[in-house]
Homo-oligomer: A and B are copies of this chain.
Amino acid sequence: MKNLLILTERIPFRRILTKNVKVGTNFKTQRCLASLVQKDARKNAEIDFTAEKYTHLQRNPNFSELTQEDISFFQKILPSNCLIIDKQDDLLPYNIDWMRKYRGKSRLVAKPQTTEQVSRLIEYCNGRKLAVVPQGGNTGLVGGGVPVFDEIIISTNNLNKIRSFDPLSGSLVCDSGCILENLDNYLAEQGYVMPLDLGAKGSCQIGGNVATNAGGLRFLRYGSLHGNVLGLEAVLPDGTILDNLATLRKDNTGYDLKQLFIGSEGTLGIVTGVSIQTPRRPKAVNVALVGLSSFENVQDAFIKAKEELSEILSAFEFWDASAVKLIKDHLVQGSRFPLEDNYPFYVLVESSGSNKVHDDEKLLCFLENLLEKDIAKNAIVAQDETQFRTIWSIREGIPEACSKAGSVYKYDVSMPLEFLYKMVEDVRCRFTDAGLYGEDLAVNSITGYGHVGDGNLHLNISAKSYAPEITALIEPWIYEWIEKHKGSISAEHGLGLMKAKYLGFSKSKSMIDMMKKIKQIVDPNGIMNPYKFISD
C-alpha cells in the first residue's frame, strides 16, 4: 500500500479518468496506418517474390491463367474503378503483405460493391479454375491475405456499408469490408462497443477479423468471435450465397455452419456480411501498471484479479524486463517510464465497468492487496487519459521496440498458463548453450509478453540479422516444444502461408483429415486461397 501511494504521488498520477476515454486505445493503430500510407512503390518493388524465395512452392498446374476473355467478363460485371488490371504500381499494395515478407504476382484485383457481384465473380473463377485470394485490410501477419503466384485478388474494400443496428439488442449487421475502428466509432455514438479491438483496427476489416478469428485486446472480457458473431453472409466457390445473417442470440436449427467460416482464412469462401452481438460501452475504464518479481507472482496476481475484479476485469497483459529494456533503449526516455525501479515482470490491468466509483474502489483494493501480500512490488493507476494512453502505449510499443533492436523472429502461441513463460526461459537457455545469446552476439534480445488472461504469449527473438543457424535453432524445436506442452502454434494470427506446413503440431491427423474433407466438398477445385494451410 505504501509503494502504491508513494508512486501515485510522485508521478503524479491523479485519480480522475475522463468518462469518454476509449477502451484499450493504443497508438500502434496510427503508426500502422501511417506506414501503410507511406508505402514506397520503389521499395516495394525490391521485395522478393514469394514464389522465388520459397522454392518448395509450386504453382498448381490445374489452375488456369488469366486470359483477355476473362478480363472482358470481369469488365462486364464491375465498373472500371473497381478493377485493377496489369498496372504494376497499383497492384503492388495488394500483392505485398503488411509485413513486406510475402509478394505475389497477381495481375488483377477485383473490388466488388455488392454480394451479388462477389457471387458472379467467384462462380466464374470456379468454372474457369482461376485461383482466388480474398483480401480485407491486408493487415495479416502470416501471409494469408496475399497471393503466392498469380491468384486473382478479390478485395472487400468496396463492401463497406453498415446495414443495420438494433439499439435494443445491440446486434450490428454490416458489410465485411467495414473497418473495425469505423464500426467502433459508429457504436460509440449509440453507447455500444465492438467486442474486439486490435492494434490494426484502423485498417483491418470485420470480414478479415471473422475469417481469421481475430483475438486481440478485449478477448478476456468479451470472448471469441465464435461466441459473438450472430450470423454471416458468405459466398461459396460455386457462387452460392450462404445467407445466415441472423441477428438472433439463440438459434438451434441444424449445424452452426457460420462457425466453419470463422477462422477458415478464406479457404472456404468469401465473407460478405457479418452480424455481431455488441455489448454496452463501459462508462468507466481504469488501467494500472504493476511491477512484480516472478512469473509465479504474475499468475498469482491473475488469480486475484479474476477473484476481486471479476466482472470488470477487461485486460491482463504482461511483459518481461527484457521488453522494458528495449522500450527504454528505443522508444521512451527512462525518466518518462511510469515506474522508476526495474522489475523482472510487469502487468497491465484494465477494468471496464458501468460505475466509476465502484470500479475505482475495486481496483485500488485489488492493488493494495497485491502489495500487502507481496505479490506485487509496485503499482500505479492512470489518473487521466494521457496516463491511460501512456501505460497502454508501453504494452503496444513492445513489438516496435523489438523491431528496432534488430531482425525479429516472431511467434504467437498459446498454452496452459503455467508453461507460458517457461517457453521464453527455455529459448534463452537454448541460445545461451549455443553461445549465440548476449549483448554483442547474434541474438541480442529474447522477449516475452502477451495476454495472460488468454494464455497467449508473443515471443520475439531479436537478432543482428536473419540467419539460417538461428532459424535452425528455433524451428522445428519450438513447435515440438509447444506440442509437448499442449499448446497451439498459432493463438490468434492464424496459419496462412507462414505456418501452413506446421498444422500437424497442433491438430491430429484425424482432425486434419476431416478439415480436408470439408474443404473438398465446399471447394472441390481448390480455388479458394490456395497454397495456404489446407492445400496439399
Contact = CB atoms under 8 A, between A and B. Distances in A.
Contact of A488 (B250, B259, B264, B306): B250
How many copies of this kind of chain does the complex include?
2
21 contacts: A166-B416, A168-B302, A191-B307, A219-B250, A236-B510, A236-B514, A244-B507, A248-B415, A248-B491, A252-B493, A252-B495, A253-B503, A253-B506, A254-B263, A256-B260, A280-B307, A282-B311, A311-B312, A355-B361, A358-B361, A517-B521
A508 to B, nearest CB: 5
Interface in A241-255: 241-244, 246-255
Nearest to A533: B254
B418 A491 contact: no
Interface in A448-476: 451, 453-456
A236 to B, nearest CB: 8
Contacts of A521: 517-518, 521
A407 interface: no
B226 A259 contact: yes
Interface string A297-309: 0010011001111
Nearest to A487: B248
A353 interface: yes
A307 B352 CA distance: 13
Interface residues of A, number: 95
A156 interface: no
A248 B453 CA distance: 11
Nearest to A213: B252
A204 interface: no
Contact of A512 (B228, B249, B254, B456): B254
Interface in A275-309: 280, 282-283, 299, 302-303, 306-309
B264 A455 contact: no
Contacts of A534: 254-255
Contacts of A495: 252-254
Nearest to A248: B414
Given A243-B508, A246-B488, A280-B307, A255 B264 contact: yes
Contacts of A227: 223-224, 226-228
Contacts of A213: 252, 256
List of 10 A-B pairs having minimum Cβ-Cβ separation, nearest first: A227-B227, A259-B259, A310-B354, A251-B488, A250-B491, A253-B506, A358-B358, A311-B311, A250-B414, A223-B227
Contacts of A306: 170, 280
A514 B522 contact: yes
A36 interface: no
